[in-house]
Amino acid sequence: MIAYLERVSIPEPEQPTGSGNDEVLTLRNGLEDLQLQGGVEFGSTAAYAGKDFGGMQLTKPLAVIKPTGSEDIAKVIKLASRFPNLTVAARGNGHSVNGQAMAHHGLIIDMKKSSVDNYGGNSQDEVDVHPQSGCADVAGGALWADVLKRCVPYGLAPRSWTDYLDLTVGGTLSQAGVSGQSFRYGPQSSNVTELEVVTGTGEIVTCSGSENPEVFFGVLGGLGQFGVITRARILLQPCPKMVRWIRVVYSEFSEFARDAEFLVSLEKEGDSFDYVEGFMFVNSDDPVNGWPSVQLDPNHPFEPTRIPKCAGPVLYCLEVVLHHRDYVFPTTVDTVVDKLLGQLEYCEDLKFQLDLSYVDFLSRVKVAEKEAKASGIWDAPHPWLNMFVAKSDMPEFDRLIFNDILRHGVGGPILVYPLNRSKWNSRTSVVLPDGGDDVFYLVALLRCTSPFPNSGLSVEEMIAQNREILQCCRRNGINYKLYLPSYNSRQEWEQHFGNQWSRFKERKASFDPMAILSPGQKIFTRNQ
Ligand code: FAD
């Protein structure tokens, strides 16, 4: 059973040493004896680490450690190894949705570094830009938003992003980290050349593709199982000041997919758009799921009379971005855009575009976050479902899932866009759909729930619908893997990893043999 398919009531795991307060006191004393450079929080001040963005799980950590460096983390992991059943979870920004960064009755290492804007910290210490070598050394707990802020003054920026930037570098590298640049550069995990990692034995290791490669590839997409990423060397590229953000609409999935796959096949910079994503939306005036979700500019609303008469219950939007580079604005930008769009067959007159700064484009979800926080939606549960689906099965997925089960939407974005398998390194721990397709699709159901009574699906109904979707995929032989996976049983994890399970298990045995790290993933059980 997939974890997020159930609203979880967490079974009480054993206390660290099985016997309550005395042992907790011993642990407290043990933590004090470590003389950490950073701080330790207990009780109600540690409670925040028992929740996450998903809002569907609640746990009680014993303590939260705020480390100031790798040595602190190594000491904490070594201490944990002396307590039977005690686990340790690195917590990035807690933006998982199924308790993956939690450790019930365990220790949380709060990796997130204070950001300049929000917390009065100094992102300069966390992001060290090397303009000459085109890379940056970045703390594992730095937010991508701070990486951007520190790189842009040098005219540089990372090549590969996520849509939302208040996620930590270590948190997304432990998954993959995908967005509209991934077709060209691969996920974020394909854009790091060196890491510093504290393994589950408390060893501090520098690793890369050639130095300690098993640690390096293991932790990339490794779901926090093999070590805590404390520093990453990230590849940078020159960044533009301005971009053009464009959306075009399709009534047929086959046409949307043909054009999206054409664009992602043009991998060379300058040959195509610099960002390619897409989403499905409902063919109705529903303000969240329908036509209004497409427009970029209130002065240019969606004109429903332009939708072809033959359109079904759902429509598709291809979202692309062109970096202005040194093109003359607006003339050359217009020419390049027109040439690229001229090769596509979207619905005539259903085109939306906006010129904005590169930083504003990358920060676009922050605007949505502010609105969602104000309405209470940000803090309400998020029963998300993220999948990678084989290209050859997308027409069937479209018919069975988009046009049927999801024909009324999910109360939030439904992302769907192609990615090139060749940009993913098979030595990392990330799992992609089996089979020979060069292209596979990201499908992300970014469900939002209302904090107030409304006519939409309840959290439980959304969770049940996620279950129905996966059952439907299995019944119809649709080849998929979960992205940001979450399962409850070992058997399901073995199935998820398939022929990569033995490698994953061996990596665990080598780098975290006592299964101390990231218990919230529910893959391994802490052992002596
Ligand atoms: P956490 O949720 O805190 O941790 C996630 C896992 O990583 C846990 O198992 C934790 O133990 C482990 N971990 C955390 N830090 C470290 C570390 N330093 N070393 C080792 N392990 C660690 N994903 C995409 O790919 N693309 C997107 O566009 C995207 N957009 C998102 C938008 C929003 C609003 C949200 C909420 C999530 C989005 N995600 C996206 C998913 C996101 O990448 C993952 O949930 C990611 O794990 C969250 O990062 P975090 O820093 O909050 O990690």
- Tell me, what's the ipTM? 0.99
Q: Is the CB of 177 under 6 A from ligand 1?
A: yes
Residue finishing a domain among 214, 238, 262: 238
Give the mutation target among 59, 87, 91 for probing the ligand 1 site: most ligand atoms within 8 A of CB.
Answer: 91
Q: Is the CB of 179 under 6 A from ligand 1?
A: yes
294 falls within a domain = yes
Measured from the CA of 93, which atom of ligand 1 is nearest?
52
Domain of 40, CATH number, reads: 3.30.43.10
Q: Whose CA is nearest to atom 49 of ligand 1?
A: 171
441 falls within a domain = yes
Q: How far apart are CA 475 and CA 455, in angstroms?
A: 30
Together in a domain, 147 and 283:
no
Q: Is the CB of 170 under 6 A from ligand 1?
A: yes
Q: How far apart are CA 146 and CA 26, in angstroms?
A: 38
**Which tens digits make up the pLDDT trace of 323-354?**
998 888 898 999 999 999 999 999 999 999 99
Q: Is the CB of 232 under 6 A from ligand 1?
A: no
* Six-digit token string for 454: 């409304």
324 falls within a domain = yes
The confidence score (pLDDT) of residue 118 equals 45
Residue finishing a domain among 194, 209, 238: 238
Q: How far apart are CA 28 and CA 22, in angstroms?
A: 10
The confidence score (pLDDT) of residue 123 equals 57
The confidence score (pLDDT) of residue 404 equals 98
Domain of 151, CATH number, reads: 3.30.465.10
Helix spans in 82-212 (H): 116-119, 123-126, 144-151, 169-173, 182-185
**Which tens digits make up the pLDDT trace of 124-152?**
679 999 999 999 999 999 999 999 999 99
Question: 486 C-alpha vs ligand 1 centroid, how far in Å?
Answer: 13
Together in a domain, 100 and 178:
no
Together in a domain, 373 and 400:
yes
Residue finishing a domain among 222, 238, 254: 238
The confidence score (pLDDT) of residue 188 equals 98
**Which tens digits make up the pLDDT trace of 406-423?**
999 999 999 999 999 999
Give the mutation target among 172, 367, 423 for probing the ligand 1 site: most ligand atoms within 8 A of CB.
Answer: 172
Q: Is the CB of 397 under 6 A from ligand 1?
A: no
Domain count, the chain: 3
| Edge-to-edge strand ranges of the sheet holding 314-323 | 351-357, 242-250, 314-323, 275-282, 414-420, 439-445, 385-390, 480-482
* Domain ranges, residue 153: 116-238
What b-and-e string marks burial along 52-68, b requiring 16 or more CB atoms within 10 Å of the CB?
bbbbbbebbbbbbbbbe
Together in a domain, 207 and 143:
yes
462 falls within a domain = yes
73 Rama sector, left if φ>0, alpha if ψ -120 to 50, beta otherwise: alpha
Angle at the Cα of 494 from the Cα atoms of 429 and 525, rounded to 5 degrees? 90
**Which tens digits make up the pLDDT trace of 1-40?**
333 333 444 444 445 554 467 878 899 999 999 999 999 9
Q: What is the mean pLDDT of the chain?
A: 93
Together in a domain, 34 and 79:
yes
Together in a domain, 103 and 176:
no
493 falls within a domain = no
Confidence of residue 451 (pLDDT cuts 50, 70, 90): confident
Strands (E) across 116-270 are located at 127-130, 135-139, 156-158, 192-199, 204-208, 227-238, 242-250
The confidence score (pLDDT) of residue 16 equals 56
164 falls within a domain = yes
Q: How far apart are CA 248 and CA 320, in angstroms?
A: 9
The confidence score (pLDDT) of residue 431 equals 98
Together in a domain, 256 and 189:
no
Domain of 438, CATH number, reads: 3.40.462.10
Together in a domain, 105 and 145:
no
Together in a domain, 358 and 430:
yes
Question: 116 C-alpha vs ligand 1 centroid, how far in Å?
Answer: 20
**Which tens digits make up the pLDDT trace of 258-297?**
999 999 999 898 899 999 999 999 999 999 999 999 999 9
Question: 18 C-alpha vs ligand 1 centroid, how far in Å?
Answer: 31
Least confident of 202-216, 222-236, 429-443, 447-461: 447-461
Together in a domain, 133 and 14:
no
Q: Across residues 30-59, what is the average pLDDT?
A: 95
**Which tens digits make up the pLDDT trace of 490-527?**
999 999 999 999 999 999 999 999 999 999 999 999 98
Strand, coil or helix: 245? strand
213 falls within a domain = yes
The confidence score (pLDDT) of residue 358 equals 98
What are the DSSP calls for 404-416, one per residue?
A: IITTT--SS-EEE
498 falls within a domain = no
Together in a domain, 257 and 296:
yes
Measured from the CA of 170, which atom of ligand 1 is nearest?
18
Question: 427 C-alpha vs ligand 1 centroid, how far in Å?
Answer: 20
Is the omega angle on the peptide bond into residue 418 within 30 degrees of 0, that is, cis? no
Question: 406 C-alpha vs ligand 1 centroid, how far in Å?
Answer: 26
Q: How far apart are CA 520 and CA 228, in angstroms?
A: 14
Together in a domain, 167 and 208:
yes
What is the set of active-site residues? 95, 163, 277
Q: What is the pTM of this model?
A: 0.95
